[in-house]
Amino acid sequence: MARAHWRERVQAARVQREADNRVRVRRSVEHRDGARCTVEGRSLLNFCGNDYLGLSQHFAVVGALQDTAAREGAGGVGSHLVCGHHAIHDALERELADWLGAPRALLFGSGFLANLAVLQSLLGDDDVCVQDRLNHASLIDAARLAGCRLRRYPHADPEGAIRQLRTLPEGLAMVATDGVFSMDGDIAPLRELALVTRVQKAMLYVDDAHGIGVVGPDGRGSVAAARLGPDEVPLQLATLGKALGGYGAAVVGEADLVEHLAETARPYVYTTALPPAQAAATLAAVKLARSEHWRREKLVELTARFRERARRFGLVLLDSDTPIQPVICGTDTRALSMAATLERAGHWVAAIRPPTVPEGRARLRVTLSALHTVAEVDGLVAAIAQARDRAEAEARIAELAR
């Protein structure tokens, strides 16, 4: 029997993606200026980034990055446990822990790495991780790499979670969920899940990548919005590259658990530390996120405006009160057509297709920022409605041509 060749496998996968309209294209941003991006020589109004608070280009954040790089250099030099841990890392961890009301925080190079670290350091072959069906890919991959049993429950269904836990009584049990779901924009039922985990003697872990800085009192995220703390959620993930405008992530929570991660988590022990300059930039961003409440207030206003105008035009939305506002298109072809029409009109909105979202649920993932204006949001909604009408006309023509 002949061994398969990698070229054949790669080519077959490419052909299948082309047939399914699921080829992914990487675009190069030549310049960013506020909410605008220059892409292939064209200025586009960006409605697909995660810079929710508009901090990525703030003068205080950029200034902290530049000043620290000038003094300390560009890189992290080594792992945290060798020679890469810097005083500015300590300062950022303390600020994050204080903001989020937890005893300790630990920095990671990315949210993906942080999720791998948490699940791999705590779960093993005899354990179970119960997850929401719409969780981020990093949580799913983390459970698989940990070697534990992975069980999934219907989206935002605490009763589904408890059914899964009841069937697997042995070993350590963890319920892991997104706080704000990145493709639907809704918030997990954390109070109910906290009750489930307490009754079932399981641990609740929340990936709040899209909640930190955006929702909850003082922007402290979905855990704080649910009036929960470290007793109910011993560990949570805070991403530094979304609302905080930088790069990296932190796991915050119980001191003993965080110390366990620092000593045993492979994605922490065996990788280079976050550059001190990046940590300094994020520290400046956290202080702004804590103090400048108008940014979240503006996001709330823009989100309400978008939803009111979208309903007026008959657009199909999901139940989301966050800056993530999916517009359901249905087919991959329709989503791609609408995204292309929007780009020609000067709006950059990503078309999200399976497997990132369920089959038949392709969408435009609109994301709002404090950098946007009311007029820009109104213009976007009108442009989406026009793109929908054009896509529907194209579909009718294609059907008649068959």
Give me the CATH number covering residue 33.
3.90.1150.10
Q: Strand (E) positions, 273-393? A: 324-330, 347-348, 350-352, 362-367
Among 238, 272, 291, the domain-final residue is 291
Is residue 72 located within the same domain as residue 162? Answer: yes
Q: Could you give the CA distance from residue 57 to residue 66 in angstroms, rounded to a whole number? A: 12
Among 291, 308, 327, the domain-final residue is 291
Q: Strand (E) positions, 289-389? A: 324-330, 347-348, 350-352, 362-367
Q: Find out whether 210 is annotated in a ligand binding site.
A: yes
Is residue 279 located within the same domain as residue 330? Answer: no
The whole-chain average pLDDT of the chain stands at 96
Is residue 185 located within the same domain as residue 201? Answer: yes
For residue 9, being part of any structural domain is answered with no
Residue 260 corresponds to which tokens in the numbers above?
A: 């366990």
Q: Residue 1: is its pLDDT beyond 80?
A: no
Compute the radius of gyration of the chain from its Cα atoms.
22
Looking at per-residue pLDDT, the higher value among 212 and 5 belongs to 212
Is residue 43 located within the same domain as residue 159? Answer: no
Is residue 129 located within the same domain as residue 196? Answer: yes
Is residue 374 located within the same domain as residue 236? Answer: no
In 3D space, the residue among 321, 318, 323, 354 whose CA is nearest the CA of residue 336 turns out to be: 354
Q: Could you give the CA distance from residue 53 to residue 306 in angstroms, rounded to a whole number? A: 17
With 0-12 / 13-18 / 19 or more C-beta atoms within 10 angstroms meaning exposed / middle / buried, residue 330 is middle
Residue 140 corresponds to which tokens in the numbers above?
A: 């799913």
For residue 130, being part of any structural domain is answered with yes
pLDDT of residue 369: 98
Q: How confident is the model at residue 11 (pLDDT cuts 50, 70, 90)?
A: very high
Among 226, 261, 291, the domain-final residue is 291
Q: Could you give the CA distance from residue 202 to residue 194 in angstroms, rounded to a whole number? A: 9
Is residue 285 located within the same domain as residue 189? Answer: yes
Is residue 227 located within the same domain as residue 321? Answer: no
For residue 171, being part of any structural domain is answered with yes
Domain that holds residue 38: 27-53+293-401
For residue 12, being part of any structural domain is answered with no
**pTM assigned to the model:** 0.95
How many distinct structural domains can be found in the chain? 2
For residue range 213-235, list pLDDT tens digits in order: 999 999 999 999 999 999 999 99
Q: Could you give the CA distance from residue 54 to residue 58 in angstroms, rounded to a whole number? A: 7
For residue 8, being part of any structural domain is answered with no
- Rounded to the nearest 10 degrees, what angle do helices 111-122 and 137-146 cross at? 30
DSSP assignment of 84-120 equals I--HHHHHHHHHHHHHHT-SEEEEES-HHHHHHHHHH
Is residue 286 located within the same domain as residue 297? Answer: no
In this structure, which amino acid lies at residue 291?
Answer: S
Is residue 143 located within the same domain as residue 114? Answer: yes
For residue 373, being part of any structural domain is answered with yes
Q: Find out whether 89 is annotated in a ligand binding site.
A: no
For residue range 27-56, list pLDDT tens digits in order: 999 999 999 999 999 999 999 999 999 999
Q: Find out whether 221 is annotated in a ligand binding site.
A: no
Q: Find out whether 182 is annotated in a ligand binding site.
A: yes
Q: Which of 41-50, 74-83, 163-172, 298-307 has the lowest mean pLDDT?
A: 163-172
* Domain CATH code at residue 134: 3.40.640.10
For residue 196, being part of any structural domain is answered with yes
Q: Find out whether 112 is annotated in a ligand binding site.
A: yes
Q: Could you give the CA distance from residue 48 to residue 364 in angstroms, rounded to a whole number? A: 9
Is residue 271 located within the same domain as residue 145? Answer: yes
Q: Residue 293: is its pLDDT beyond 90?
A: yes
Is residue 179 located within the same domain as residue 93? Answer: yes
For residue 192, being part of any structural domain is answered with yes
Cis peptide bond prior to 355, omega within 30° of 0: yes
Q: How confident is the model at residue 2 (pLDDT cuts 50, 70, 90)?
A: confident
Q: Find out whether 239 is annotated in a ligand binding site.
A: yes
